[in-house]
Amino acid sequence: AQKITQTQPGMFVQEKEAVTLDCTYDTSDQSYGLFWYKQPSSGEMIFLIYQGSYDEQNATEGRYSLNFQKARKSANLVISASQLGDSAMYFCAMREGLYGGSQGNLIFGKGTKLSVKP
Amino acid sequence: DADVTQTPRNRITKTGKRIMLECSQTKGHDRMYWYRQDPGLGLRLIYYSFDVKDINKGEISDGYSVSRQAQAKFSLSLESAIPNQTALYFCATSDSGNTGELFFGEGSRLTVL
């Protein structure tokens, strides 16, 4: 069974510094997709970034990048130049199957609460 | 207007009452989901539907039922609510094409007394 582990319940980072949020996953599938979502205190879930298991390059979206280490089964989120608005819960998720048409569903980790200090 | 709309946004009810949470979407997606979020547990899948005639149980379906009334509507029912169903409930949609990321509603906070 697939599993997502986020080992950092909470983290602090100084404004303007970079921060890495850890995520490890476990699957026997070769084809899978990895996702990160942000949940601010207002509660909505915001999609940040996606990495497919066959993608050779790390995914990047603005200040977000996904440090994908397939052999280690890790998919860490890196936020560069942290801003106060980055304070939120961050969830890592995985789906077995690369594409939206696959039969797998997104399974979420328990989340990491990031606090950005001014 | 939001692409994925959940009603009600907040609800307080008593043990034993029947509750329905409704979800509608304007994204034209074929797939819809209900997740539950509890502090420290992340999001857990309750039910999902890949099209109108397809309904599937998720990880924690006991005590819940769903109805896919149309492609755009997916409702979650608690037939007899109990206190440990107090949680934040999310409806989500996804497209069967591309990467299939989930698009979430704003959440429905349910409190069962």
How would DSSP label each residue in B26-43?
A: SS--SEEEEEEEETTTEE
Question: Does any CB of chain B come closer than 8 Å to the CB of residue A54?
Answer: no
Which pLDDT tens digits describe chain A residue by residue (118 residues)?
669 999 999 999 999 999 999 999 999 889 999 999 999 999 999 999 999 999 989 999 999 999 999 999 999 999 999 999 999 999 999 998 777 667 778 999 999 999 999 9
Q: Do the Cβ atoms of A50 and A84 come closer than 8 Å?
A: no
- Each residue of B14-31: pLDDT tens digit? 999 999 999 999 999 999
Q: Do the Cβ atoms of A33 and A23 come closer than 8 Å?
A: no
Q: What is the mean pLDDT of chain B?
A: 94
Taking residue A89's Cβ as centre, other Cβ atoms within 10 Å add up to 20
Question: Does any CB of chain B come closer than 8 Å to the CB of residue A105?
Answer: yes
Question: Does any CB of chain B come closer than 8 Å to the CB of residue A106?
Answer: yes
Q: Place B1 in a pLDDT band, splitting at 50, 70 and 90.
A: low
- Each residue of B37-64: pLDDT tens digit? 998 889 999 999 999 999 999 999 999 9
Burial of B63 (C-beta count, 10 Å sphere; 0-12/13-18/19+): middle
Partner-chain contact B90 A45, CB within 8 Å: yes
Question: Does any CB of chain A come closer than 8 Å to the CB of residue B40?
Answer: yes
List b or e across B67-78, with b for residues whose CB sees 16 or more CB atoms inside 10 angstroms.
ebeebbebbbeb
* Torsion angle (degrees, nearest 10) of CA A49, A24, B89, B16: 170
Q: Place B89 in a pLDDT band, splitting at 50, 70 and 90.
A: very high
Q: Which two structure tokens, joined as six digits, stand for A51?
A: 């990495």
Taken as a whole, chain A contains a residue count of 118
Contacts of B24 (CB under 8 A, 6+ apart): B4, B5, B72, B73
Q: Across the interface, which of B45, B97, B104 has its CB nearest the CB of A45? A: B104
Calpha distance B18→B107 (Å, rounded): 19
The amino acid at residue B101 is: E
Q: Across the interface, which of B98, B102, B107 has its CB nearest the CB of A106? A: B102
Partner-chain contact B42 A108, CB within 8 Å: yes
- Each residue of A52-82: pLDDT tens digit? 999 989 999 999 999 999 999 999 999 999 9
Task: Look at residue A13 in the predicted model and tell me its pLDDT.
Answer: 97
